[in-house]
Amino acid sequence: MITCKDNLGDMVRIPKERFRKRTSVYGVIWHQDRICVCRSPSGMLWFPGGEIEVGETKERALLREIDEETGLQNVVIGQPIQSLETFFYFQPTDEAMHAFLHFYACTVQDHRFPKDRLRIDGEEKGLEWIDPATLRENDFANLGREIIAMIRV
Protein backbone atom coordinates (compact mmCIF):
# COMPACT_ATOMS: atom_id res chain seq x y z
CA MET A 1 0.00 0.00 0.00
CA ILE A 2 1.13 3.54 -0.77
CA THR A 3 -0.20 6.50 1.18
CA CYS A 4 -0.65 9.60 -0.97
CA LYS A 5 -2.94 12.58 -1.50
CA ASP A 6 -5.99 12.63 -3.74
CA ASN A 7 -7.41 15.46 -5.84
CA LEU A 8 -9.25 16.83 -2.78
CA GLY A 9 -6.06 17.00 -0.73
CA ASP A 10 -7.04 14.05 1.48
CA MET A 11 -4.67 11.25 2.39
CA VAL A 12 -5.59 7.86 0.89
CA ARG A 13 -4.04 4.39 0.86
CA ILE A 14 -3.85 2.71 -2.53
CA PRO A 15 -2.44 -0.73 -3.41
CA LYS A 16 1.02 -0.37 -4.94
CA GLU A 17 0.07 -2.35 -8.08
CA ARG A 18 -2.63 0.23 -8.99
CA PHE A 19 -0.07 2.96 -9.71
CA ARG A 20 1.05 3.69 -13.24
CA LYS A 21 3.89 5.98 -14.26
CA ARG A 22 2.72 9.30 -15.67
CA THR A 23 5.00 12.00 -17.05
CA SER A 24 3.33 15.40 -17.28
CA VAL A 25 4.11 19.03 -18.06
CA TYR A 26 2.57 22.14 -16.51
CA GLY A 27 2.75 25.80 -17.44
CA VAL A 28 3.17 28.50 -14.83
CA ILE A 29 1.74 31.09 -17.21
CA TRP A 30 2.42 34.71 -16.34
CA HIS A 31 0.56 37.76 -17.57
CA GLN A 32 2.00 40.87 -15.96
CA ASP A 33 2.06 40.10 -12.20
CA ARG A 34 -0.53 37.29 -12.21
CA ILE A 35 -0.44 33.58 -12.96
CA CYS A 36 -3.04 31.35 -14.56
CA VAL A 37 -4.59 28.68 -12.35
CA CYS A 38 -7.32 26.09 -12.80
CA ARG A 39 -9.76 25.80 -9.88
CA SER A 40 -11.56 22.48 -9.47
CA PRO A 41 -15.11 22.22 -8.06
CA SER A 42 -13.55 21.30 -4.70
CA GLY A 43 -11.67 24.63 -4.75
CA MET A 44 -8.22 23.09 -5.23
CA LEU A 45 -5.85 24.90 -7.61
CA TRP A 46 -3.49 23.57 -10.26
CA PHE A 47 -1.66 24.81 -13.31
CA PRO A 48 -2.73 24.08 -16.89
CA GLY A 49 -1.02 21.00 -18.24
CA GLY A 50 -1.16 17.25 -18.34
CA GLU A 51 0.28 14.01 -19.59
CA ILE A 52 2.86 13.81 -22.35
CA GLU A 53 1.58 11.55 -25.13
CA VAL A 54 3.80 8.99 -26.87
CA GLY A 55 5.99 10.72 -29.44
CA GLU A 56 5.47 14.25 -28.07
CA THR A 57 8.19 16.53 -26.81
CA LYS A 58 7.61 18.22 -23.47
CA GLU A 59 7.14 21.57 -25.21
CA ARG A 60 4.61 20.24 -27.76
CA ALA A 61 2.66 18.48 -25.02
CA LEU A 62 2.61 21.64 -22.92
CA LEU A 63 1.26 23.79 -25.77
CA ARG A 64 -1.41 21.15 -26.54
CA GLU A 65 -2.48 20.85 -22.90
CA ILE A 66 -2.60 24.63 -22.36
CA ASP A 67 -4.75 24.99 -25.48
CA GLU A 68 -7.07 22.16 -24.40
CA GLU A 69 -7.49 23.42 -20.85
CA THR A 70 -7.49 27.19 -21.30
CA GLY A 71 -7.84 28.08 -24.96
CA LEU A 72 -4.98 30.57 -24.51
CA GLN A 73 -3.13 31.26 -27.73
CA ASN A 74 0.38 32.52 -28.42
CA VAL A 75 1.80 31.09 -25.22
CA VAL A 76 5.58 31.42 -25.07
CA ILE A 77 7.32 28.61 -23.21
CA GLY A 78 10.31 29.78 -21.21
CA GLN A 79 12.79 27.92 -19.06
CA PRO A 80 12.03 24.78 -17.07
CA ILE A 81 11.38 25.79 -13.46
CA GLN A 82 11.36 22.50 -11.59
CA SER A 83 10.72 18.77 -11.88
CA LEU A 84 8.97 16.89 -9.07
CA GLU A 85 8.05 13.29 -8.36
CA THR A 86 4.98 12.25 -6.35
CA PHE A 87 2.29 9.63 -5.89
CA PHE A 88 -1.26 10.86 -6.48
CA TYR A 89 -4.80 9.49 -6.70
CA PHE A 90 -7.35 11.18 -9.00
CA GLN A 91 -10.87 10.25 -7.84
CA PRO A 92 -12.94 11.34 -10.87
CA THR A 93 -11.20 8.82 -13.15
CA ASP A 94 -10.13 6.34 -10.41
CA GLU A 95 -6.45 6.62 -11.39
CA ALA A 96 -3.44 6.10 -9.15
CA MET A 97 -0.31 7.71 -10.55
CA HIS A 98 3.40 7.64 -9.88
CA ALA A 99 3.80 11.12 -11.32
CA PHE A 100 6.81 12.87 -12.80
CA LEU A 101 5.86 16.55 -13.13
CA HIS A 102 7.79 19.12 -15.18
CA PHE A 103 6.96 22.81 -14.68
CA TYR A 104 7.82 25.55 -17.19
CA ALA A 105 7.69 29.33 -16.91
CA CYS A 106 5.43 30.67 -19.66
CA THR A 107 4.10 34.04 -20.77
CA VAL A 108 1.16 35.16 -22.86
CA GLN A 109 0.17 38.52 -24.31
CA ASP A 110 -3.59 37.96 -24.73
CA HIS A 111 -4.77 36.70 -21.34
CA ARG A 112 -8.50 36.40 -22.17
CA PHE A 113 -9.94 32.90 -21.91
CA PRO A 114 -12.24 32.00 -24.82
CA LYS A 115 -14.42 30.13 -22.30
CA ASP A 116 -14.49 30.91 -18.62
CA ARG A 117 -15.15 27.30 -17.61
CA LEU A 118 -14.15 24.04 -19.27
CA ARG A 119 -14.76 20.40 -18.37
CA ILE A 120 -11.55 18.35 -18.21
CA ASP A 121 -11.04 14.82 -16.86
CA GLY A 122 -14.51 14.67 -15.37
CA GLU A 123 -14.20 17.97 -13.50
CA GLU A 124 -15.31 21.47 -14.37
CA LYS A 125 -12.32 23.81 -14.28
CA GLY A 126 -12.59 27.45 -13.32
CA LEU A 127 -9.83 29.47 -14.92
CA GLU A 128 -8.51 32.63 -13.33
CA TRP A 129 -5.54 34.95 -13.09
CA ILE A 130 -4.31 35.20 -9.54
CA ASP A 131 -1.68 37.14 -7.60
CA PRO A 132 0.86 34.50 -6.52
CA ALA A 133 1.42 36.32 -3.23
CA THR A 134 -2.13 35.34 -2.20
CA LEU A 135 -1.55 31.60 -2.68
CA ARG A 136 -1.11 29.23 0.26
CA GLU A 137 0.17 25.65 0.46
CA ASN A 138 -3.31 24.25 1.17
CA ASP A 139 -4.71 25.85 -2.03
CA PHE A 140 -3.15 22.88 -3.86
CA ALA A 141 -4.26 19.28 -3.42
CA ASN A 142 -0.68 18.03 -3.66
CA LEU A 143 2.84 19.45 -3.45
CA GLY A 144 1.63 22.79 -2.06
CA ARG A 145 4.88 23.60 -0.23
CA GLU A 146 6.98 22.87 -3.31
CA ILE A 147 4.69 24.86 -5.61
CA ILE A 148 4.64 27.92 -3.38
CA ALA A 149 8.44 27.85 -3.16
CA MET A 150 8.66 27.44 -6.95
CA ILE A 151 6.47 30.44 -7.86
CA ARG A 152 7.88 32.81 -5.26
CA VAL A 153 11.51 32.52 -6.35
Q: What single-letter amino acid sits at 144?
A: G
Report the distance separating Cα 113 and Cα 55, nearest Å. 28
Taking CA atoms, 108 is separated from 74, 130, 148, in Å, by 6, 14, 21
pLDDT given at position 117: 45
In the chain, the domains with their CATH numbers are 2-151 (3.90.79.10)
pLDDT exceeds 70 at position 49: yes
Residues 6+ apart with CB under 8 A from 82: 102, 103, 146, 150
DSSP string for residues in 32-74: TTEEEEEE-TTS-EE-SEEEPPTT--HHHHHHHHHHHHH---S
Q: What is the pLDDT of residue 73?
A: 86
The per-residue pLDDT for range 102-113, each reduced to its tens digit, is: 999 999 988 888
> For position 42, what pLDDT does the model report?
82
Q: Any idea which of 112-116, 135-139, 147-151 has the lowest mean pLDDT?
A: 112-116
pTM (predicted TM-score): 0.89
Arithmetic mean of pLDDT over the chain: 91
Q: What is the pLDDT of residues 72-130, one digit of tens each?
A: 989 999 999 999 999 999 998 999 999 999 999 999 988 888 754 455 555 556 889 99
